C-alpha cells in the first residue's frame, strides 16, 4: 500500500507464504551464527532482531531505518546480530556466506553460516564455486535454497534442467524440507547446523511458495493461475498451519489468537506511522562511506541555503 501511495520507492520483493523459513531457522540457531540473505529479506530481518519500525523506515528512506535510509528494501542489515543483508544482485552473496563460514572456522567459535538463496539463483556459477571451496575446506556453512518455484516470471522447470536443488552439490549432502511447516524447518535446520559443525557444508532445500509476484511490478498471475495460488494458501499456508496446531493441541483458543492478531496489527500500524515521522537522511550522506577520512573534501562544498552541490573550479569530471 505504501508503494502504491508513492511513499516508498524502488523495488519491493514480498515473502508472503515463506514465513516458516526464517522463523524455523531462528528457532534452531542463535544470533552468534551468521546469516546472509537475498533481496527478499524483510521477514528474515525481523527474525534477526530488526524492528518493524526499522524495516518500514528503511522502505521509506528515513534515518530511523535499518541502514539509516540509505539501503532501501533489498539492503537490510543488523551486523551486531550477524545479519549481513539483504543483497540485490542474484547469487553474488553466496561466496560471501562461504567467507563468513571461513571466519567462524578460523575463530573456532562453534558457529555456522546460513547462506540463503532462491531457485532462480541456483544456476549461478559462483554458487557452484562457493560450494566447491566450502567442501575443499570443510567450512561450517548451510546453503539454504528457498525454492518458491518461480524466478522472475519463470517457473523452475523452464529455468533448471533439474529442480531437485538439494542434490546440486554432488560432493556434499543435501536435505529436502517442507518449507511451509515451521516445525519441519526447525528440525531440518537443527540437523544441518550440527552436520556443518561436524562434517562441513550441506545444502538444505526449503520447498516453499510466494503468494505475490516476483516484485512490486509483477502481478504474479500471468505465469500461474489464481486457482493455483489460492490452492496453496488453503492447503499449506504456514501461518494457518501453526494456528491449527495451537488450537488442536489446546495451546491457545481461537479467541486468544484473534486477540493477539489484533494487537500485532495495531503494533505494525503504529510502527508505520512512527516510520513516516522519521526524518530523511541529510544531503551530507551522499559522501559518507565513499572517501577515506581526509580524502575528497576538496571536491565537495554544499550550499545548504539552495540545497545545491558546488564543485571547485576545474574539478569537473572528477
Beta strands in 2-154 (DSSP E): 34-36, 113-118, 141-147
Query: What distance in Å separates the CA atoms of residue 66 and residue 51, rounded to the nearest whole number?
Result: 8
Query: In which band, very low, low, confident or very high, does the pLDDT at 155 lie, cut at 50, 70 and 90?
Result: confident
Residues 87, 38 contacting (CB under 8 angstroms): yes
Instruction: Evaluate whether residue 15 is within a structural domain.
Output: no
Q: Is the dihedral of CA 222, 224, 225, 228 positive or negative?
A: negative
Which of the pair, 131 or 301, is modelled with greater confidence? 131
Which of the pair, 227 or 37, is modelled with greater confidence? 37
Task: Kindly calculate the radius of gyration of the chain based on its CA atoms and give it in whole angstroms.
Answer: 22
Instruction: Evaluate whether residue 237 is within a structural domain.
Output: yes
Instruction: Evaluate whether residue 145 is within a structural domain.
Output: yes
3-state helix, strand, coil in the chain (%, to 5): 40, 10, 45
160-174 residue pLDDT tens: 767 777 777 778 999
Virtual CA dihedral for 72, 210, 185, 67, nearest 10 degrees?
A: 0
Half-sphere exposure of 301 (CA within 13 A, CB side): 7
Which CATH number covers residue 139?
3.40.50.970
Instruction: Evaluate whether residue 97 is within a structural domain.
Output: yes
Determine which helix (DSSP H) or strand (DSSP E) holds 207, and give its type and residue range: strand 202-207
Which of the pair, 247 or 229, is modelled with greater confidence? 247
Query: What distance in Å separates the CA atoms of residue 255 and residue 239, rounded to the nearest whole number?
Result: 16
Instruction: Evaluate whether residue 171 is within a structural domain.
Output: yes
254-276 residue pLDDT tens: 999 999 999 999 999 999 999 99
By CB atoms closer than 10 A (0-12, 13-18, 19+), residue 57 is buried
Instruction: Evaluate whether residue 258 is within a structural domain.
Output: no
| Residues of the domain holding 201 | 20-48+83-251
Domain total for the chain? Answer: 1
Residues 152, 119 contacting (CB under 8 angstroms): no
pTM of the model: 0.87
Instruction: Evaluate whether residue 197 is within a structural domain.
Output: yes
Cell numbers found for residue 27: 528457532
Residues 138, 166 contacting (CB under 8 angstroms): no
86-135 residue pLDDT tens: 999 999 999 999 999 999 999 999 999 999 999 888 888 999 999 999 99
Query: What distance in Å separates the CA atoms of residue 95 and residue 112, rounded to the nearest whole number?
Result: 14
User: Which among 254, 258, 236, 234 is positioned nearest to 246, based on CA atoms?
Assistant: 254
Instruction: Evaluate whether residue 314 is within a structural domain.
Output: no
Query: What distance in Å separates the CA atoms of residue 260 and residue 241, rounded to the nearest whole number?
Result: 16
Amino acid at each position: 500500500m505504501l508503494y502504491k501511495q508513492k511513499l516508498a520507492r524502488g523495488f519491493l520483493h514480498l515473502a508472503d507464504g515463506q514465513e516458516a523459513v526464517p522463523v524455523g531457522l531462528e528457532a534452531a540457531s542463535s544470533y552468534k551464527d551468521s546469516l546472509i540473505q537475498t533481496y527478499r529479506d524483510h521477514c528474515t530481518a525481523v527474525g534477526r532482531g530488526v524492528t518493524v519500525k526499522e524495516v518500514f523506515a528503511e522502505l521509506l528512506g528515513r534515518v530511523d531505518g535499518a541502514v539509516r535510509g540509505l539501503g532501501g528494501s533489498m539492503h537490510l542489515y543488523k551486523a551486531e546480530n550477524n545479519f549481513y543483508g539483504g543483497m540485490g544482485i542474484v547469487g553474488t552473496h553466496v561466496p560471501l556466506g562461504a567467507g563468513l563460514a571461513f571466519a567462524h572456522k578460523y575463530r573456532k567459535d562453534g558457529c555456522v553460516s546460513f547462506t540463503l538463496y532462491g531457485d532462480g539463483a541456483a544456476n549461478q556459477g559462483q554458487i557452484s564455486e562457493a560450494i566447491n571451496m566450502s567442501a575443499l575446506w570443510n567450512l561450517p556453512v548451510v546453503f539454504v535454497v528457498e525454492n518458491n518455484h518461480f524466478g522472475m516470471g519463470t517457473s523452475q522447470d523452464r529455468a533448471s534442467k533439474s529442480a531437485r536443488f538439494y542434490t546440486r552439490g554432488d560432493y556434499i549432502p543435501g536435505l529436502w524440507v517442507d518449507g511451509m511447516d515451521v516445525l519441519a524447518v526447525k528440525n531440518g535446520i537443527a540437523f544441518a547446523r550440527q552436520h556443518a559443525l561436524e562434517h562441513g557444508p550441506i545444502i538444505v532445500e526449503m520447498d516453499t511458495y510466494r503468494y505475490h509476484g516476483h516484485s512490486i511490478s509483477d502481478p504474479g498471475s500471468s505465469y500461474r493461475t489464481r486457482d493455483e495460488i489460492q490452492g496453496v494458501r488453503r492447503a499449506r499456508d504456514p501461518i494457518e498451519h501453526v494456528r491449527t496446531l495451537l488450537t488442536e493441541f489446546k495451546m491457545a483458543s481461537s479467541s486468544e489468537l484473534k486477540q493477539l492478531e489484533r494487537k500485532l496489527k495495531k503494533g505494525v500500524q503504529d510502527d508505520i506511522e512512527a516510520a513516516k515521522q522519521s526524518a530523511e537522511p541529510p544531503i551530507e550522506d551522499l559522501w559518507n562511506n565513499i572517501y577515506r577520512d581526509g580524502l575528497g573534501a576538496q571536491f565537495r562544498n554544499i550550499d545548504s541555503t539552495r540545497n545545491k552541490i558546488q564543485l571547485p573550479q576545474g574539478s569537473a569530471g572528477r
